[in-house]
Chains A and B, each alone.
Chain A
Amino acid sequence: MKLYDIAHSRAGDKGNTLTLSLIPFLESDYDMICEKVTVDRVKNHLQQVVSGEIIRYELPHIASLLFVCHNALLGGVTTSLAIDTHGKTLSYALLEMDI
């Protein structure tokens, strides 16, 4: 199963930092997602994207996780040579993770 099957995500950018929310479709899946989608697993999954530290924030009130990924956007929106300078498509890179 992929994360795509049980959760949704939106990417955001601030400079060279990428943010990825991870929101289970069913709030009852929140605990399972907290247990399975660890920082180490995300780091491994996104090793070709994120060069820096990844911080995971837990938001139990809205049953969601937020991953803040440093040094992830090849310099950031203004000077990156990547085709998607914002990294807007990267929410779906997270959702490709096997679970």
Chain B
Amino acid sequence: MKDKIRIGCGAGFSGDRLDPAIILAEQGNLDYLVLECLAERTIALAQKRKIKDQTKGYDPLLERRIESLLPALTKNKVTLITNMGAANPMEAAKKVADIARKLKLKIRIAAVTGDDVFKKLETSSIALETNEPVGNSGELISANAYLGVDGILEALHANASVIITGRIADPSLFLAPMIFEFGWSTSDYDLLGKGTVIGHLLECAGHITGGYFADPVKKPVEGLHKLGHPFADVKKDGSAIISKVQGTGGVVNLMTVKEQLLYEVINPSEYFTPDVIANFTTVKLQEIGHDQVQVTGGHGKPKPETYKVSVGYKAFCLGEGEISYAGHAAFERAKLAGEIVSKRFAEGLVISDHPITDIRVDYIGISSVHRTDFKTAPVSPYEIRLRIVGKAQTPEDAALIGEEVEALYTNGPAAGGGVRKLVNEVVGIVSTLMARTEIEVQITIIES
């Protein structure tokens, strides 16, 4: 049993930079490296790739991340825990074994499975968002339960040095090594609550090291181009010091830690995971040195009786087109263009197989992201980009929206330019609950 471990987080989402994790693996003096790469919808998209090819469906950056990290991880005896398995942890583990063989490294890899509950899902199960059966949302394509620490713990006991999971609650990726190393009981909910706080602080990587925090006017941060990702020195009592590798860019201070502590929290006194219901309101933070924040407090109460399941469904085809206007009367011309396209759809002048609905017109540069300008911009900007988007049932129909924007080139108003078109088959997500007894977590060990 150890008294202290160091856990780093080298990726906070699927598309995150590769180099911060390499720096953590090489210079971080870590015991564990976690790569959190799976957002709410990522797994449904991965499921679509798996349906097309049974050997795919894991994270598209898996090979690049593993190739760049394995030598340093092996040399420095750092255990890797990642949800890059996405919809296919087994194939991801095989791929990691192939890469290890190519690099002539002998490692034990564990794949954690059991989160894919698509075959067990009842379409009559009630969606939390709509209060209606999940089957009413549309054609279902995936169902994944948010697992807790169990599978990772089993993999750690089996001495695996690379652990690949699918859907697991993000903080559980960090909590598992704490439980394993400190011999915490999985019914000591105060300790699990504290560990969950630490996991939540780390899980978004560059969030807590000043990246997504930075504002050059009020919150300037140095070295963002070489932003370091965080690690935590976690003690057996559930306290931790958050920091980052010396010499990397960014900052860890009270402000960055507070922003991350409250990020995506719906109720700070009841933060649900499959392992514990954690209480964040009792957390205390203290700056104890340069880029060092101590985290103490945090509590927990018994875990929920059910697992949360994310259900992916085919929602609609999104069609989109954009065009720019600049100079005198730019906003007036953009507005006229928006009216023209809206009118063409409303009056049935665009021939589609099925109705195209929910046409939305945005003026990028004025009110596209906050839906208002709070009256802070009385003058029209010099240039403006018109964006028109809508819902269709088929990709062919969705393409009509971009085509209509493109047709503004010759049909006017004057001097529109730089058209971009996009069609996207949108996967929606609803959540439901499933009894713990329905879910069997398994691990599979592969050696290179």
Contacts and interface: CB of A to CB of B under 8 A. Distances in A.
B264 A14 contact: yes
Contact of A96 (B268, B376, B427): B376
Interface string A31-69: 000000000000000001100000001010110101010
B370 A81 contact: no
Interface in A5-27: 5, 8-10, 12-17, 19, 21, 23, 25
Given A61-B283, A81-B318, A15 B262 contact: no
Given A8-B218, A89-B369, A93-B370, A79 B266 contact: no
Main secondary structure of the interface of A (DSSP, over half): mixed
Contacts, number: 116
A89 to B, nearest CB: 5
Contacts of A57: 267-269, 281
A4 B218 contact: yes
B362 A83 contact: yes
Given A62-B283, A81-B360, A96-B374, A21 B369 contact: no
Interface stretch (B52-60, B239-247, B384-392): B384-392
Contacts of A16: 129
A55 to B, nearest CB: 8
B364 interface: yes
Listed residue (B212, B265, B280, B360) with the most chain A CB atoms within 10 angstroms of its CB: B265
A10 B263 contact: yes
Contacts of B374: 93, 96
Contacts of A84: 368-369
Nearest to B426: A79
Contacts of A10: 207, 212-213, 259-260, 262-263
A12 B129 contact: no
Interface residues of A, number: 37
A20 to B, nearest CB: 9
Given A8-B219, A77-B40, A61 B297 contact: yes
Nearest to A23: B258
Interface residues of B, number: 52
A19 B431 contact: no
A99 interface: no
B261 interface: yes
Given A8-B215, A8-B219, A23-B255, A61 B281 contact: yes
A64 B280 CA distance: 12
A28 interface: no
Contacts of B261: 62
Contact of B258 (A48, A49, A62): A62
Interface in B40-87: 40-41
Contacts of B255: 8, 23, 25
Contacts of B437: none
Contacts of B129: 15-16, 76
B410 interface: no
B428 interface: yes
B119 interface: no
Interface in B213-268: 213, 215, 218-219, 255, 258-268
Contacts of B262: 10, 12, 19, 21, 23, 59, 64, 66
Listed residue (A17, A48, A62, A84) with the most chain B CB atoms within 10 angstroms of its CB: A62
A61 B260 CA distance: 15
Contacts of A83: 362, 364, 368-369, 387
Given A14-B266, A78-B426, 12 more contacts: A8-B213, A8-B255, A13-B264, A19-B264, A25-B255, A59-B280, A62-B261, A66-B262, A76-B429, A78-B428, A82-B362, A84-B369
Q: Nearest 9 pairs between A and B by C-beta?
A: A12-B264, A21-B262, A48-B372, A84-B369, A10-B259, A89-B369, A93-B370, A96-B374, A78-B429
